[in-house]
Amino acid sequence: MNNYRIFTVTIIGICISQIIATFHVYMSNIELASQIQYLTDNNYLIVPNLHVLPQLQSIFTAFIGGLFFTGTIGLGIISITLFVTWFWIHITQKNKIFLMILFLQWAIAIYFANRNGWCAFTLYLCIMLPALCVINILISKKNSIRLIPNPKLFWCLPVLLMIMTCYFTERSVSFLSIRDYLLLSNDLGHKLNDLYYRYTLYPGEIIKPFALKQQKTCYIHFEKNDAKRYIKAVERKCIMYDYLPIPDKIMANIVLEVDPPHIYFQVNGSVVVKSDIMNYLRETKSVFSDFSEQTDVNEFFRMCILLSLVISAPILFYILMMQFMFGLLCLIRIPAIVSQFLVVGMICICFSLVILQMPQKFPENATQNDWQSAFSKAYQELDWRQAVVLLRSTKFTVTRNAHQQALKWLQQTDHPVLKYWLIRYLSESRISIDNTVFLKYLSDPNVNVVCQTLYALGRQRDRLLISHIKDFIADCPHWYVQMYAYRALKRLGWRNFSD
């Protein structure tokens, strides 16, 4: 078992993390479902709408949504426990002082996770992390067999080659590039992309601060007669930032106590922010931002998720992949030195093939004429990859000739990535365009294209679109798409007043 310690700990860690994450997402979904039903009964336009309600009440949705936490913070904690226990056993020889330092850091992490109120990250820190440490220690041996000789060269060479390939071929690898050039270029990638956009918002809603949540509820309370003259103004400002006034104090996320000349923002009976009423009416965004910061219980959680996503999870996946390939070659009794060259060679080839799928970046010193010539050439050759590179270069203005070519290409192409960037390009043009050009893409089968269409409609400044988008939201079953539609409504000047 010790030879496969990394695999054993990883599998156990994923199971523990997924149990916690599923419970975490499910409880959040049930709370959100209750809020949706309540706000719908109060005649507000709600995102997510009632079409999403059955999904919020589903264990399957919670499980799929929980994969986000397992794939980020779960893998991050697994990586930390593997490294820390290895360092404590093999480097410090089970030094007690080092162990006390680890306990202190663990306590500090719990403190930072809960300094603004209880955070569910505590479940991962207090259940998953100690359990994995104990398991890791139990199956570790001081003189364990090394699967991989010369580990520094073995681990680092493919990574160094990847960095050098990106640099010398003038290509970049980013989440956006992976989506555009890898996922959306094949059927399997389309399914993974749709899965991501369909279920990401369920865990995402948990860790957002108040300022970024789609809709919040507030209860506005006043006792003095002179406070009545401020009520309508306070309500309008709340609605502008999606803090929807409701008549039930218990159901409200926050309570606004209006007591001229002050206004108090309360959560669970405690005052979080105190502001002057006139300052609140002038600087509403700043006051709500301050309130959001003071009540943000997930700031440390989000930071750890980000670090896990960009550092810990990729490193762990890389190590597991290398260990697995090397283990297979060991089973068929290939000499270690030959196995090293084979594995390193295969990994380097895979990395190179992935990088070469990304088109070269457009030169930073290029002129507007260079861009126009390159775009015309891409249009004539129907080279969607080069076109996307050019359309993502935001420093160039939209010329009439490029606008006409982009419009023609949009009407001719079926490629979702190209449609996505053409719609964005046309929406940012100062040249007027008929809204019907965009409206037909609201029924596009690709969720990214639909979202970008709604973004484009929101930029048209045509208030006649409001009723059309509201009807679209009412019939739309996709939470992510609804979110873009709601933002488009807000950009067009619509406000969510209770009917």
Tell me if 361 is assigned to some domain.
no
Q: Is the dihedral of CA 65, 67, 71, 76 positive or negative?
A: positive
Distance from CA of residue 108 to its chain's centroid? 26
> Structure pTM?
0.89
pLDDT of residue 211: 87
Q: Is residue 394's pLDDT more than 80? A: no
Q: Is residue 6's pLDDT more than 80? A: yes
Q: Domain check: are 290 and 306 in the same one?
A: no
Read off the pLDDT of each residue in 296-320 and give the average, rounded to a whole number. Answer: 91
The secondary structure of 292-358 as a DSSP string is HHHT-S-HHHHHHHHHIIIIIHHHHHHHHHHHHHHHHHHHTT--HHHHHHHHHHHHHHHHHHHHHTS
Query: What's the whole-number average pLDDT of the chain?
Result: 88
Tell me if 428 is assigned to some domain.
yes
Structure confidence by residue, pLDDT tens digits, 168-195: 887 878 888 889 998 988 889 999 999 9
Q: Domain check: are 287 and 306 in the same one?
A: no
Q: Which domain holds residue 219?
A: 210-294
Q: Is residue 144's pLDDT more than 50? A: no
Which of 273, 294, 315 is a domain's end point? 294
Which of 138, 172, 190 is a domain's end point? 138
pLDDT of residue 124: 96
Q: Is 150 helix (H, G, I), strand (E, B) or coil?
A: coil
Q: Is residue 44's pLDDT more than 70? A: yes
CB atoms within 10 A of CB 19: 16
Tell me if 497 is assigned to some domain.
no
User: CA-CA distance, 154 to 33, in Å (whole number)?
Assistant: 50
pLDDT of residue 296: 93
pLDDT of residue 164: 84
The phi and psi torsions of 424 (rounded to 5 degrees) equal -65, -45
Q: Which residues contact 180 (CB under 8 A, 6 or more apart)?
A: 388, 417, 420
User: CA-CA distance, 382 to 358, in Å (whole number)?
Assistant: 17
Q: Domain check: are 161 and 283 in the same one?
A: no
Read off the pLDDT of each residue in 203-216 and give the average, rounded to a whole number. Answer: 90
Q: Is residue 30's pLDDT more than 90? A: yes
pLDDT of residue 397: 75
Tell me if 362 is assigned to some domain.
no
Beta bridge partners of 370: none
Q: Domain check: are 317 and 263 in the same one?
A: no
E runs forming strands in 144-291: 216-222, 243-245, 254-259, 262-267, 270-276
List the 262-267 sheet strands across, edge first.
243-245, 216-222, 254-259, 262-267, 270-276
Q: Domain check: are 21 and 123 in the same one?
A: yes
CB atoms within 10 A of CB 16: 22
Q: Domain check: are 326 and 196 in the same one?
A: yes
Closest by CA to 298, choosing from 215, 205, 218, is: 205
CATH number at residue 220: 3.40.50.800
The phi and psi torsions of 259 (rounded to 5 degrees) equal -140, 85
Read off the pLDDT of each residue in 103-112 and give the average, rounded to a whole number. Answer: 95
Q: Domain check: are 398 and 466 in the same one?
A: yes
Tell me if 499 is assigned to some domain.
no
Tell me if 282 is assigned to some domain.
yes
- Name the one residue in this structure whose structure tokens are 């960095």: 163
Read off the pLDDT of each residue in 314-318 and give the average, rounded to a whole number. Answer: 88
Count of positions (residues) in the chain: 499
Burial group, residue 331, by CB count within 10 angstroms (0-12, 13-18, 19+): exposed
Q: What pLDDT band is residue 141 in, cutting at 50, 70 and 90?
A: low
> Which of 25-29, 221-225, 307-311, 377-381 is predicted with the least confidence, judged by mean pLDDT?
221-225
Tell me if 325 is assigned to some domain.
yes
Q: Domain check: are 338 and 438 in the same one?
A: no
Q: Domain check: are 428 and 344 in the same one?
A: no
Q: Domain check: are 9 and 112 in the same one?
A: yes
Burial group, residue 416, by CB count within 10 angstroms (0-12, 13-18, 19+): buried
Q: Is residue 142's pLDDT more than 60? A: no
Cis upstream peptide for 48 (omega within 30°): yes
Q: Is residue 154's pLDDT more than 70? A: no
Q: Domain check: are 76 and 113 in the same one?
A: yes
Read off the pLDDT of each residue in 43-66 and give the average, rounded to a whole number. Answer: 94
Tell me if 48 is assigned to some domain.
yes
Read off the pLDDT of each residue in 395-415 and give the average, rounded to a whole number. Answer: 87
Give the helix/strand (H/E) hosting 208: none
Domain count, the chain: 4
Which of 256, 275, 294 is a domain's end point? 294
Read off the pLDDT of each residue in 290-308 and give the average, rounded to a whole number. Answer: 94
Q: Domain check: are 183 and 231 in the same one?
A: no
Structure confidence by residue, pLDDT tens digits, 452-485: 999 999 998 889 999 999 999 999 999 999 999 9
